[in-house]
Amino acid sequence: MESKIEELEEIIGYKFKDKSLLELALTHSSYSNDQKKGKMHNNERLEFLGDAVLELTSSEVLFHEYREKTEGELTRLRASLVCEPTLADCAREIHLGDYLLLSHGEDRTGGRNRDSVISDAFEALIGAIYLDGGYNSSKTFIKKYVLNDIENKQLFFDSKTILQELLQKDYKERVEYVLTREYGPDHDKHFAVDAVFRHRVIGSGEGTTKKRAEQQAAYEAILKIRK
């Protein structure tokens, strides 16, 4: 485990003074249950803390960087950045799933790539960095991995709404999302969806949920329209 911890530290660019905090952040409840380590020896409490640190940091950064936005606009923007799918993508960027401690059952059923599991672990990692290095260290990590490419993240999160608004300027018809393919085992399903407007495919997307596939299809359509 020590070499894995050092490897992850290298990826995220932060060295822990207390390595046990990082190990705890990587410990899923299924693993602690499997190892009979007790219900407190998992990353859930760190996730609770990390969620609060993430909310504060994102609120502070957005408040200063988007001075022209109203409270409602800032709230929607923050929601797009701290939602489960976005955090899962952030976790995949640092290959966090590869380093998690999971039970054999959780691992076998796709836990390492499940949005809920890796997004929770990502928040736990933020909590661990906060405890180990303080607010500024956690803020640096959040700015690097969450509060980057903000416009594109918001565009993807709100893609279906934005696409409909773009098209309704000139047309009254609604975009339809058509499931074209469903594949993979039950624990790791993937979906392919086309965004169809006026009987024409204007975007295609894939994802681990139908909603994610629809968002990807809408996002692709928006990029085409903007070009």
Catalytic residue among 6, 34, 44, 51: 51
Catalytic residue among 23, 47, 123, 214: 123
DSSP state of 195: E
- Would you state the structure tokens that stand for residue 150, as one six-digit string? 């903000």
CB atoms within 10 A of CB 126: 29
Q: What beta strand segments (E) does the chain contain?
A: 176-183, 190-197, 200-207
Clarify whether 51 is annotated catalytic: yes
- Would you state the structure tokens that stand for residue 182, as one six-digit string? 């469903």
Q: Are 127 and 46 in contact (CB under 8 A)?
A: yes
The C-alpha atoms of residue 200 and residue 164 are separated, in whole angstroms, by: 15
- Residues annotated as catalytic (active site), given as ranges: 51, 123
